[in-house]
Every structure is written in structure tokens, then in C-alpha cells.
Amino acid sequence: MTQTAFTPRVFSGIKPSGGLTLGNYLGAIKRFVGIQGQMETIYCVVDMHAITVWQDPKELANMTREVAAGYLAAGLDPSQSILFNQSQVAAHAELGWIFNCVARVGWMNRMTQFKDKAGSNAEKVSLGLYAYPALMAADILLYHATHVPVGEDQKQHVELTRDIAAKFNHDFKTDFFPLTEPVIDGPATRIMNLRDGTKKMSKSGESDMERINMTDDADKIAKKFKKAKTDPEPLPETAEGLAGRPEARNLVEIYAALNDMTPEAVITEYAGAQWGKFKPALADLAVAKLAPISDEMARFMADPAEIDRILGEGAEKARAIANPILRDTYDVVGLLRS
Ligand code: ATP
Ligand code: MG
């Protein structure tokens, strides 16, 4: 089967498992908005993924709105992209179940994110956290999405999505699902924790000081960059000099991504600079880029009914694509429909 038979279509999602971070913005939202208009784009607030770990029911709907507000504030246009929350399209869960029956336990055991998130507590975490990559495959394949822009941390899950599509196609002797491409490009595919350059910045991370939140004010942003861990050396003279210096590399990559330049160009500008010079420049840049977005987010959050309306309309458009694909999947599998 030639995979060119599938119309180019983008799908990606963000969990409402906490406030949006600079990692989510640079690694996901900014890139999602960048592709908008070039092909069909479908973006989701994946609330069913969020509940794989405990979420306070009183907070969940608001977190869902906040992620939606982040997308909208960063430039997602609901007339150009479909924007909705996952739980409003039941077909995600239904296809997710079928993929639970396609994916192999051995494949799940290789997922590094599960190992990271479960840690030494693997017996006590939810079954949903373990099975989550099969639901993620359903999110993507329910739309026959051909491209999934994600951060580096999600590469393994998109590869698993391809494995699930290939096994489904093989087992049922069909060419029904595309082999989706992960799209991991630009300087910010893995923004690191500000206190530990070997760990990813995450919205569900333990300490607020390890991440920049989209809603942080100028003082907080300046303070967090000032306290960010670095080594004692100044910035190198060339980009090669960042090798083996994860914290330095991270701050340079954040600067590059915020300012739409390459890390090499940042080093050229700041060759040999001390942290006392670079960190305040980075904080100023981050404030200049994030403040307009966080102001806009606050404006959206002041009108939750409007966000709910946008998500509802998006869900309707999503169902119009998803439901026929789910129905065809049921037919392939042989599930009876009266
Ligand atoms: P959680 O800690 O709950 O897993 P998260 O911050 O990892 O939250 P997700 O909702 O899991 O966010 O991921 C949403 C998108 O953001 C994904 O495409 C993911 O690859 C991207 N992303 C998350 N963290 C980073 C990061 N530090 N750098 C670049 N991209 C990131
Ligand atoms: Mg994550």
C-alpha cells in the first residue's frame, strides 16, 4: 500500500495535567500554530490522558479550559484548526479499546515514559497510565493523521502508534491505517528542567522553580532564570562548546527558540558571556515573548462559556471525521452493527 493515499493531516494534543510550561509552548503549541494553514490541523486537549493520574474533579474542567486558552492565545484559529477536548468525542475511547487488543504487553513494557512516571511505584499506578500509549495511538489514527508534531519525549509513543497501525493492517489484511510520521523539529524539541539539565521540564514536575509557566509574571520569570542551575564556565565561543554542558545548552536553546534563531547564532552573539549577562537577557526575551500570550490567555479565561463553545464546536467537527473511521474500523474487526 502506498501511504500517499492518505491526505496530509496533522493531529496533536496536550494533557490538562497542570499549567502550561515553556516546554509545552516551545515544543508543542508554537509549532502547532506554525503548521496551521499549511495542511488540515486537529488539536486536542487530552483530558482522558490527564486522568491516568489523579486529577481533582473541581480543577479538571478549568485546567482543560486553560490549555485551550493557551492554544488560542498563541494563535490557534478555530476557523483554521479543529480544537476540542478528547472526552467530548467518545470514539477516542472506543478505538483505544481496540488498540488495547492490538498492542502487545511487551511493547508497553519498553515505554520509557511509563518507567519514568511510575518510578519505583509501578505496582500502584493506574492501569490507564500503562495503557495510555494505546489511547494516544487511537487519538492519532482516529483521524488517519499523517503527521504528529511533538516534543522529543513523545517520539517513542508515535513510533508505537506506527507499530499498532502496522500490526492492525497486517492482522486484518488491510491498509486502513496510515503509518504516521512524528514531526520533531526546531531548536526546542526537549526543553530541560531549570534545576536539573538531565530532566525534561514538565507541567507535573515537583517544584515550581524547575519550570517557567505560561502564566508566570515578569518577576517570577526573572527569578527562575536567575536561580536556574548552570556550570561555572561562561558561554563557549562556539556551539560545539556546549557539548557535555546540559544546563548551558538548555538556556541557549530556549533563547534560540524564543527568538526564532539557531543556537549557533545565539552563541555568536553571546560568545564568552558570563551568566550574569546572559540570564537577564534571556529573562527579558522570555517576558517580551510570553507576556502578550499570557495576557491573551487571561482574556480567554475571563469568558469560560466562550471557550466551552469553541471546544463544543470543535468536537462536532472532530466527530464528523472520527465517527466514520471508527465505524469502518468496527467493520474491519467484525464487530456487529445492527
Ligand atoms: P506531564 O508532566 O503531565 O506529562 P508535560 O509537560 O510533559 O506534562 P504533555 O501534555 O505530556 O506535557 O505533552 C504535551 C506536548 O508538549 C507534547 O507534544 C510534548 O512532547 C511536549 N512537551 C512537553 N514537555 C516538553 C519539553 N520539556 N520540551 C519540549 N516539548 C515538550
Ligand atoms: Mg508529558
* pLDDT grade for 17, boundaries at 50, 70 and 90: very high
Does the beta carbon of 81 sit less than 6 angstroms from any atom of ligand 1? no
For the CA of 15, the closest atom of ligand 1 is 10
Residues of the chain with pLDDT > 90: what percent? 95
Confirm or reject: Cβ of 162 under 6 Å from ligand 1. Answer: no
* Annotated domain spans of the chain: 9-189+303-333, 221-299
Question: For residue 23, how far is its CA from the centre of ligand 1 (angstroms)?
Answer: 6
Question: Rounded to whole angstroms, how far apart are CA atoms 331 and 325?
Answer: 10
pLDDT at position 187 is 85
> For residue 296, how far is its CA from the centre of ligand 1 (angstroms)?
21
What grid cell was written down for 242? 556546549
* Residue whose C-alpha is closest to residue 164's, from 126, 136, 129: 136
Determine whether the shortest distance from the Cβ of 17 to ligand 1 is under 6 A.
Answer: yes
Over 90: is that where the pLDDT of 2 sits? no
CB 166 within 8 A of CB 175: no
Q: Alpha-carbon dihedral of residues 155, 97, 103, 136, nearest 10 degrees?
A: 0
| Residue 1 pLDDT greater than 90, yes or no | no
Specify the amino acid at residue 184.
Answer: I
Q: Are 214 and 290 in contact (CB under 8 A)?
A: yes
Query: Is the distance from the beta carbon of residue 28 to the nearest atom of ligand 1 less than 6 Å?
Result: yes
pLDDT score of 284:
98
Q: Give residue 4's pLDDT.
A: 57
27 close to ligand 1 (CB < 6 Angstrom): yes
Spell out a b/e string for 244-268, using b for 16 or more CB atoms within 10 Å of the CB, else e.
Answer: ebbbbbbbbbbbbbbbeebbeebbe
pLDDT, average across residues 128-135? 97
- Ligand closest in space to the Cα of 53: 1
- Residue whose C-alpha is closest to residue 129's, from 121, 117, 143: 117
Return the pLDDT at 122: 87
Asked whether 46 and 14 are in contact (CB, 8 A), the reply is: yes
Calculate how far, in angstroms, residue 154's C-alpha sits from the geometric centre of ligand 1: 8
Query: C-alpha distances in angstroms, 7 versus 40, 145, 223, 315?
Result: 9, 8, 46, 21
95 lines ligand 1 (CB under 6 A): no
- Residue 191 Cβ contacting ligand 1 at under 6 Å: yes
CATH architecture under which domain 9-189+303-333 falls:
3-Layer(aba) Sandwich (3.40)
* Per-residue pLDDT at 3: 56
pLDDT on residue 145: 98
CATH of domain 221-299: 1.10.240.10
Which atom of ligand 1 is closest in space to residue 188's alpha carbon? 29
Cβ atoms < 10 Å from Cβ of 97:
12
- Could you read off the pLDDT of 238-260 as tens digits, one per residue? 999 999 999 999 999 999 999 99
Tell me the catalytic residues: 117, 200, 203
How remote is the CA of residue 153 from the centroid of ligand 1, in Å?
A: 7
- Mean pLDDT computed over 302-327: 98
Supply the pLDDT for residue 236: 97
Give me the count of residues in the chain. 338
Q: What is the residue whose three cell numbers read 494534543?
A: 13
Nearest Cα to Cα of residue 140 among 163, 120, 119, 173: 163
Cell numbers standing for residue 49: 490522558
Q: State the average pLDDT over residues 93-116.
A: 97
Q: Which three cell numbers stand for residue 61?
A: 474542567
pLDDT digits (tens, 9 = 90+) for 165-220: 999 999 999 999 999 999 999 889 999 999 999 999 999 998 999 999 999 999 99
CA of 203 to the centre of ligand 1 (A): 7
Closest to 263 in 3D by CA, of 316, 191, 169: 191
Segment 202-213, tens digit of pLDDT: 999 989 999 999
Q: Are 214 and 249 in contact (CB under 8 A)?
A: no
pTM for this entry: 0.96
Residue nearest to atom 21 of ligand 1 (CA): 151
pLDDT for the residue 121:
86
